[in-house]
Amino acid sequence: MSFGAVQAVLFDLDGTLVDSVPDLATAVDTTLVEFGREPAGEARVREWVGNGAQRLVKRALTGSMDGEPPAALFEQAFPRFLEHYGRHLSDRSRLYPGVAEALATLRAQGLALAVVTNKPERFVAPLLSALGIARDFAVVVGGDTLARKKPHPAPLLHAADALGAAPAAALMVGDSRTDADALNPFGYTFRIADGAVVIDQPYTNPQSVIDSFSETYLRTARSYLASADVRANGTLFSWQGRDVQAAFGAEYRHEDLRDTRPPYHGENPPDSGLDPTNNDFLLHPARPDVIGDRDVLSAYGEVVVPLVTPAQSWPMLYSMEVSASA
């Protein structure tokens, strides 16, 4: 696997590496109930995450994506949310499938990794440790590490610099428009398709979108052969005291081959409008799935003519025969 000029990979946290919504929802609902509000529920909280803890609490207090609660109410509720979340940081949060394996693969390739998130920094390291991936990251940038957070480019530029990588040699992996916007100083352009970020112009050419970390490395293949053979043999005739043998038979074989790949596997998706055979993250040559099966029926015949028999053996030669088959 080759990553070309890439030296560092920057990861968003919530929604990219970790499904942390269950614990965030617990903290949000506990805070709302404490202030005499109805709990929002996990599904609603899932719609609100992605722009940092302060915006999450403001959305919870107003029920609106861009709502602004009274300043006094927010100043009371926000510390309570942080306290509740700190107590239940990793109760139900889980890594997405394939994350641990993907991080190990990237590190084995010599890439430097960082987390760049809008989550308050004090929660990031404990969460990474609880989920067993803290050792994978050399740099952690939280939402309050710097004066500005994503989508401002400062956190990404700061992380790339801390990893010793030029912006053009660093990639950002995220799940939202916030992450896409922050890519702009790296020379990227992007678009949103079906709720997903589609990178149109990375540092040299496009990167495709995948639905999970494990999908990049997933490949499914199977092949099997089933056969049946019928054979009959015996003496055809005698020639100069030698029995000429003959055998006839038939064979039936069924062969089944399946070599399939997930929808996104390193090449650009065929419906993305991008060149499907050109990608900096090409894990294998672009080629379609291989699917096929066939039935084979064959017949054969064989004739064996003995030249030397045990009764007529020569010195150092016990027996010899010639056979022909078709």
Annotated active-site positions, please?
A: 12
Distance from the Cα of residue 280 to its chain's centroid: 16
Q: Which residues pair with 234 in a beta bridge?
A: 246
Which pair of tokens denotes residue 170?
């660093």
Task: Give yes or no for a contact between 9 and 106, defined as CB atoms under 8 angstroms apart.
Answer: yes
* φ, ψ dihedrals at 65, nearest 5°: -65, -35
CA-based diameter of the chain, in Å?
A: 116
Q: Which residues pair with 294 in a beta bridge?
A: 255
Task: Give yes or no for a contact between 97 and 211, defined as CB atoms under 8 angstroms apart.
Answer: no
**Three-state secondary-structure class, residue 225:** strand
Which residue in this structure is represented by tokens 């067993």?
Answer: 132
| Single-letter code of the amino acid located at 81 | F
Q: Give the integer Cα–Cα distance in Å for 145 and 120.
A: 8
Q: Are strands 112-116 and 8-11 parallel, antiparallel or unpaired?
A: parallel
